[in-house]
Every structure is written in structure tokens, then in C-alpha cells.
Structure 1
Amino acid sequence: MGRVIVFGSLNMDLSIACERMPRAGETITGGDFLIGAGGKGANQASAAARMGAEVHMIGAVGADVFGERLVEGLRADGVGCSHVTEAKGATTGVAVITRCEGDNRIVLDPGANHLLDADAVARALDGLVGGDGAGSVFLVQLECDVAATLAALVCAHRLGMCTVFNPAPACELPVEVWRHVDVACLNETECEVITGTAPVDDESALHAMELMRAWGVRTVALTLGAKGSLVLGDGGLIRSVPPKVEVVDTTGAGDTYIGALVTGLAAGLPLEQIISRATEASALATTYLGARPPA
């Protein structure tokens, strides 16, 4: 199995449940307060490591207790953290999550996540793969500095790595970046921002995915929440429907899907098998509270 290298965010999640979302200016009483490890990058790295991949994390935390706990947690999951920087004078990223009826809303302070620049990421990649990234998978999101993230994609692609891009949180991006992306994985909201098309049915979803393929992306995975996912690659369209589960919390379900996806890519599995496993893992991730499963 090839290795998985993740450049991404490490956040501490502060999560609280409520019966309904508060209105503007309103204070309501909640409960079930949780403090847990999060950040899309760290979540995806942890999921991949738990599924058996050799995973290395590139990122930054503050010189504080949150940062210490996040790095300790990743190491406990089997993630290599030699390229996670402890930034003096910066705070670790924090996500404030409101949970309501199995759904969630998130406010994020990126903190140290935005400190690493393109040169720092390139040096970390060189230290991990040298000049040959063949057989390795490189995964990024958009919770770190955007310019550094896009430059890292270009660098990894030139090194021969399989590049996987989860454009979340979504923003406008230069079209030319997509030719450096082997696999794009995005949800319905991100799809609409990126392509200008809301995937409300099969026709609109296929239109959006075909557009991204025309930009240069080889495989596009569109996650659809409880409806599963649609994946368009060289072999045509794959539809994957999740098993029925009792949903407790959707936080981290998409990150689990991506963790399973990159694990399958690193193992060289057939795409249909990869997507089936990712869909099942994502469904199971909604059966417990928080972004990561209990130890």
C-alpha cells in the first residue's frame, strides 16, 4: 500500500446540542457539550489511518493545550506528525459546532492553520517522498491558506502523486488548478459554489461533474448526504447508496468518506469497491457524536 500525505487543518471542536437553531440575537439553552478533536485535514488523516493506511500529516497548531492534545490524538491513531509545526504566538484552530436534530452548523477560527506557506509545504513533501511521489496519495482541503494549498497541489502532482482535493469550505478558485487534481470530492453545497450548478437531480449532478472533468479532473466524487454519492470517472458513473443507520450526528461523515477514499486509492483498489467502502464508512460515522469515533 502506498502512503497518504495530508496537508490540512487541525482544530479543536467545541460542540453543543440544542432542540432548534437560535434566531438572530436570541439565547437558548442547550446541552451535551463536547470538546473533541477536529479539523477536516486531521479528521481525514485519522480516518485513513484507522482504515489501515500509512498516513503523514502536514499542518500547524498553536503552542497551547489544544495543539498538544490534537497531535497526541493523531499519533494515537497512527498518523505520522513529524511535519506538524508548533507555531509560537498563534492559537490552535477552533470550530464551534451547534448540533440540532442530527444536523450541524459550524463557525471556524483557523488560527495556526493559515501559517504554513507554499515553501514550507514543499519542503515537507520533499522530506516525505523525495523527488518521487509515485504510489503516494496527496490530500488537501481549503481550511489552510488557499494559496499554499493550491501550490501544494501543483507540487504534489509534479512529483507524480495521486492528488485528491476536497474544496471545503468552498470558494471561487482559478480553473487552471483543476488540471492538477486527479480526484475531486465535494458535497452538494460545494458543488454549487465551484461549478455554478446545484446538483438537485441526476441530470444537474452529471452536468456539474462533466464540467469538472472538462477542466481536467480525472474523477469527481459528489457526496449527497443520506442519498449516498455519485462518482464520475473514466469508467462511467458509479452510484453508491448508504446502509440504513440511526443518525446521531453528521459531523465528520464527509471526512470519513474521504479518509476511506484515499485509503482505497493508496491500496490500488478498484474505484467501485473504494466508493462502496467509503459510503458505508461515512454512514457509520453518523452513529456517534463528534468528528471522530470513540477510542
Structure 2
Amino acid sequence: MSARLWHLGNVVVDLVLEVPALPERGGDVLATRTERTPGGGFNVMAAAARQGLPVSYAGAHGTGPFGDRARAALRAEGIDILLAPRPEPDTGFVVCLVDADGERTFVTSPGAEATLTTADLTELRPGADDLVYVTGYGLLYASNRTALLDLLPRLDPAVTVVTDPGPLVDEIPDAARESLLARSDWWSCNAREAALITGIDDPAEAARALQSRLGRGSVLVRTGPDGCLVHHGGELVAVPGFAVDAVDLNGAGDAHTGVFMAALAQGLDPVAAARRANAGAALAVTAPGPATAPDAARLDAFLN
């Protein structure tokens, strides 16, 4: 595959705690399982790399046990790390509570990944066939936001920019969000995030509203077990999901986005790429943990 994915998001370490239910305010609950694992942007990159797409991580990372764990995981997936570790602080972490229904709730403690600068991206030159991935989390941090918004106008117009706005999309400064909407080739989000940015609860109508705000791109709205909606070429298509026994929903959206980008890079049309991404997300939720996206062989077998 000649294309490459340049990931401009944030790799963190997930502290995953499985709990019977979320504690009440001021309360406590005993976790039934605990795991420390690289997460955040790592999940997307791992999903794409397992499909055979070459991946480079262009984000910042820190010095300390969390940074060491994140770099080891990136190398294990064959992902290039472009920047040297920051001397301080360590990479940040996310406390992820997974309840008995598989739903997840996050609290994020930022670290070195929130210190990206314009200078870090000066030499970044994605090719015309490449994909650049931007996450809304990056736009929440002032330094990262400046670096990302400085980079966008310098990109070759042929580069495919994929944006995942994330669950805090409504906290992104308006001007930054509009700049990203103007340059994104794909705006990939879940139904909740689509509702937050448009004020429309119906996913199909929200997808249409998002499409009208994009300067040049298309929209993908994930709708959970139902699959996703793709608005491309003036047409809205519902792409059905796959029925599986879900164990852990954590990382499902990341798996979907990573597989979708790899499928686009392989030349699949957007609807076919979305179907493959639906299958990848379905397989991902059948195992505990955030980075459970399948490799290409397993995904092919599932689809066949």
C-alpha cells in the first residue's frame, strides 16, 4: 500500500476499570477488572496498521512510565514515531470506567501529548495519496490547536484529512472547529457528537446538517450496533452493522475510524469502506480492552 496515515492526535495510557455500575457522587465501587494499556490515538493507529496501512505518529509524548508504555506499544504495531520524547512531563492518562452494560465513561489527565508545537510539524510533508488524521482533543489544547491550524493550509490539497471531533466537540473553540470543517475530507463522529455540534438528535438529519457545513468533505456518523450513515456525493446511505455479543464498547469508534481509513487508502469506495469499518468495530467489541481491532485476515474471514 503506497499511502500512509499521518496521525496528529494524542496517544495516552488508559487506566481501564470494569465496574458493576458507576458510583454515586461521593460514593465508591470495587472494580471487577483493571487494566493499564495505551489508548487514545493509539487505538486508531493500531486499527489502521493491522489492516496493512503504514502509520506515522506525529504527536508529542513524554518521559516516564506512561511514555515508555505508549512507545513500546506503538513500536509493537510497526508504527513510526516521528518526535523525540519530551524531557518532561510524562504522557497523560485516561481513567476509563466500563459498566456492566459495556458503556464507558472517561476522565482525562493531559500530559506531554498536549504540548505539540508548530515547530514539531514544520518538516511534515504528507504525500498526495496520504491521509492525515486530526482529533478534536488536539484542538482543546492551545499549543496543539495552534500547531494543527498552522499545518492545515500547508497541506497538499490532494491529501485526505480525516477528522474525528471526539466527545468534547462542543468545547472546541468555534473558529478552530470551522477551520477544520472547511478543510476536512471526512468528518467521522458518533451520533451523540453529531447532535452536540448540530443540535439535531436525529442522526440522519444531523449528518445532512454537517454535510452542509463542510467546505469540501463528506460525513460519516456512527450509529452503534445499527452501523453508520455515510453522506457522500450528495447522497445519504445507511450502512448496516453486524450483530455480535458485545463485551466492551471501549475503542469501538477508534477501531471503526482506523479500519475506514485503511479501506479508503486501499481504494474502496466510501460505502464499501464503511461496511468494512462496521465489521471491524463489531469484532472489536467482542473482546475486553480498548485496542481490540482485528487484523486484515480476521476481518476478511468475518466478512466472507
Q: How does 1:8-27 map to 2 (within 5 A)?
A: 8-27=9-28
Aligned-pair CA distance for 1:42 = 1.6
Aligned-pair CA distance for 1:150 = 3.4
Aligned counterparts of 2:165 and 2:216: Cα–Cα separation in 1: 13
Read off the aligned partner of 2:149 and give its amino acid letter.
L
Q: How does 1:93-242 map to 2 (within 5 A)?
A: 93-101=92-100, 102-123=102-123, 125-126=124-125, 129=126, 133-144=127-138, 145-156=144-155, 158=156, 160-168=158-166, 169-170=168-169, 171-172=171-172, 173-174=174-175, 175-199=178-202, 205-215=203-213, 216-234=215-233, 236-242=235-241
Unaligned runs of 5+ in 2: 139-143, 295-304
Aligned counterparts of 1:24 and 1:138: Cα–Cα separation in 2: 40
Aligned counterparts of 2:293 and 2:243: Cα–Cα separation in 1: 21
Q: How does 1:27-42 map to 2 (within 5 A)?
A: 27-39=28-40, 41-42=41-42
Match of 2:284 in 1: 285
| Structure 1 runs of 4+ with >6 Å offset | none
Call closer, same or farther: CA 1:294–1:139 in 2, change over 3 Å. Answer: closer
Measured on the aligned residues, the alpha-carbon RMSD in Å equals 1.8
Aligned counterparts of 1:195 and 1:88: Cα–Cα separation in 2: 40
CA contact (8 A) 1:135 1:161 kept: yes
Aligned-pair CA distance for 1:217 = 4.4
Read off the aligned partner of 1:138 and give its amino acid letter.
V
Read off the aligned partner of 1:32 and give its amino acid letter.
R
Equivalenced residue count is: 281
Read off the aligned partner of 1:143 and give its amino acid letter.
Y
What is the aligned-residue identity percentage?
A: 28
Match of 1:45 in 2: 45
CA contact (8 A) 1:240 1:276 kept: yes
CA contact (8 A) 2:163 2:187 kept: yes
1:59 aligned counterpart, secondary structure = coil
Aligned counterparts of 1:94 and 1:241: Cα–Cα separation in 2: 34
Aligned counterparts of 2:207 and 2:53: Cα–Cα separation in 1: 28
Q: How does 1:36-75 map to 2 (within 5 A)?
A: 36-39=37-40, 41-75=41-75
Q: Deviations over 1:8-29 (max 9, x none)?
A: 1111111111111101000122
Match of 1:4 in 2: 5
Aligned counterparts of 1:285 and 1:18: Cα–Cα separation in 2: 20
Aligned counterparts of 2:290 and 2:278: Cα–Cα separation in 1: 16
Call closer, same or farther: CA 1:189–1:85 in 2, change over 3 Å. Answer: farther
Aligned-pair CA distance for 1:294 = 9.0
CA contact (8 A) 1:122 1:155 kept: no
1:211 aligned counterpart, secondary structure = helix
Q: State the TM-score, normalizing by the size of structure 2.
A: 0.87
1:92 aligns with 2:86: no
Aligned counterparts of 2:221 and 2:292: Cα–Cα separation in 1: 23
Q: State the TM-score, normalizing by the size of structure 1.
A: 0.90
